[in-house]
Chains A and B, each alone.
Chain A
Amino acid sequence: SAVISQKPSRDICQRGTSLTIQCQVDSQVTMMFWYRQQPGQSLTLIATANQGSEATYESGFVIDKFPISRPNLTFSTLTVSNMSPEDSSIYLCSVVAETDTQYFGPGTRLTVL
C-alpha cells in the first residue's frame, strides 16, 4: 500500500481566485491521478499526472483550468484556476502502488463562494 497526504485538507475560496492542492506519497510511484468528487456524486477522473511531462487530461478537463505538475515520483500539485461556485468539490489524488490497485489521499474539500 501507500500513504498519501494532501494539503490543504479544506479551503474556502473566493470566486475568480486559484487554489493549488498538493499530494505527497511516502514512496515512489509511477501512476498518479487526480479526481473530482462533486457533492453526493461519484468520482470523475480529471487527469493522469505524468512525471517529467505534461499531464494527460480526460474529456471535459483542460490544462488552463486544472494545471498539474509532477516534478518527481512522490509529489504532484493540482491547481484549480479562476474558480467559480461550480468548482466546489472534493479533489482527490490517487496512486497505483501494487499491480493495478489505486490508493487514495484523504481529499481536499473546496468551497467556492
Chain B
Amino acid sequence: GDSVTQMEGPVTLSEEAFLTINCTYTATGYPSLFWYVQYPGEGLQLLLKATKADDKGSNKGFEATYRKETTSFHLEKGSVQVSDSAVYFCALSDHPSGTYKYIFGTGTRLKVLA
C-alpha cells in the first residue's frame, strides 16, 4: 500500500541555518503531497502542497518540489528562525481512491536555537 517515510528527528539547528527535512513516498497512483506544521500545543496547519509532478509548493519561506522520479517531497528553508521550532509532517492524499484519506509520515521535530 501507499506509504510516507520521513527523516528521523529531532533536528537541531542554529538560527539562520539551512533546513532540509527529507520525505519520500510510495504510491500506486498520482497522489497530492503535503507538508503540515504543528506548533507546541496546537493542531496541524497546512504549510504547503503540490498536486502533480514538478510542482513546487511554497509558503513562509519554506518550499518543496514534487519529484516523481525520486518519489520525494523534501522540505527546505534557506534560513530558519527560532519561531520555526515545531513538528513537521509530510503526507500524501489517497485522492484517486475518492476517499481523500491521508497517509502521514511519523513527523520530524525541529528545534532552532538562537
B61 interfacial contact with A, CB 8 Å: no
Report B-chain residues with C-beta under 8 Å of the C-beta of A99. 32, 51, 95
A interface residue numbers (CB < 8 A to B): 1, 31, 33, 41-43, 45, 48, 92, 94, 96, 99-107, 109
Interface contact B100-A100, CB-CB below 8 Å: yes
Do the beta carbons of A106 and B43 come within 8 Å of each other? yes
Contact of A48 among B36, B44, B95, B99 (CB under 8 A): B99
Assess the A42–B105 pair: CB atoms within 8 A.
yes
Chain B's interface size range is 20 to 34
Give the Cβ gap from B106 to chain A, nearest Cβ, in Å. 5
Tell me which residues across on chain A come within 8 A of B107, comparing CB atoms.
Answer: 41-42
Give me 20 A-to-B residue pairs in the complex whose CB atoms sit less than 8 angstroms apart, sorted by A's number: A1-B46, A41-B106, A41-B107, A42-B89, A42-B107, A43-B44, A45-B101, A48-B99, A48-B101, A92-B44, A94-B44, A99-B32, A100-B32, A100-B95, A101-B32, A101-B34, A102-B100, A104-B45, A105-B43, A107-B43
Q: Which of A31, A42, A45, A101 contacts B46 (CB 8 A)?
A: A101
